[in-house]
Amino acid sequence: MSTQTAMFGAGCFWGVEITFRNVPGVTEALVGYSGGHTQNPTYREVCNGDTNHAEVVYVEYDPEKVTYSQLLDVFFENHNPTQLNYQGPDHGTQYRSAIFTYGAEQETKAKAKIAELTAAKRFAKPIVTVVEPAQTFYKGEEYHQRYLEKRGLASCHV
């Protein structure tokens, strides 16, 4: 099996991680940080807002079982892409809506999905999701990995 990677920021990474982990064809989902300027950031540093990193989920998937376009659908269905730098009660740039792309094909598909949703007026407000080339993924601390699963929860409170 040959896997591909994707990376998404959609607010607090705990709920995003379990959402992607439950998609058939996703072989791994890890929480962490990306999109900022600090090497090896900690959760505390990211939460302070000084690193410019987003909380992200790094996804490995089998493209024969799930497509990147389907992952984009999951992303847009499971958070509010019209909220700038927050989701629910969580505020700050670390909670921004972001798609970090691996290559031109992912970038094209992400931008086309945003254009499609905008044209269809899927959301009442403009989509503020940023599309950026993927930077280094810094795996989050172990206690954040599978956080909800370890606590017997299926989703976040939001």
Among residues 7, 12, 18, 66, the one annotated as catalytic is 12
> Considering the entire predicted model, what is its pTM?
0.95
Q: What is the pLDDT of residue 96?
A: 97
Task: Tell me the pLDDT tens digit for each residue of 44-67.
Answer: 999 998 899 999 999 999 999 999
Q: What is the pLDDT of residue 25?
A: 98
Q: What is the pLDDT of residue 157?
A: 57
Q: What is the pLDDT of residue 156?
A: 73
DSSP 8-state symbol, 128? -
The CATH architecture that domain 4-150 belongs to is 2-Layer Sandwich (3.30)
Q: What is the pLDDT of residue 126?
A: 98
Q: Is the dihedral of CA 10, 14, 19, 23 positive or negative?
A: positive
Segments of the chain with pLDDT less than 70: 157-158
- Is 47 part of the annotated catalytic residue set? no
Q: What is the pLDDT of residue 112?
A: 98
φ, ψ at 34 (rounded to 5°):
-160, 165
∠ CA 19-23-29, nearest 5°, is 65
Q: What is the pLDDT of residue 116?
A: 98
CA distances from 114 to 31, 71, 103, 111, 133 (A): 24, 13, 17, 5, 16
The token duo for 106 is 């992912």
Query: How far is Cα 97 from Cα 82, in angstroms, rounded to an integer?
Result: 8
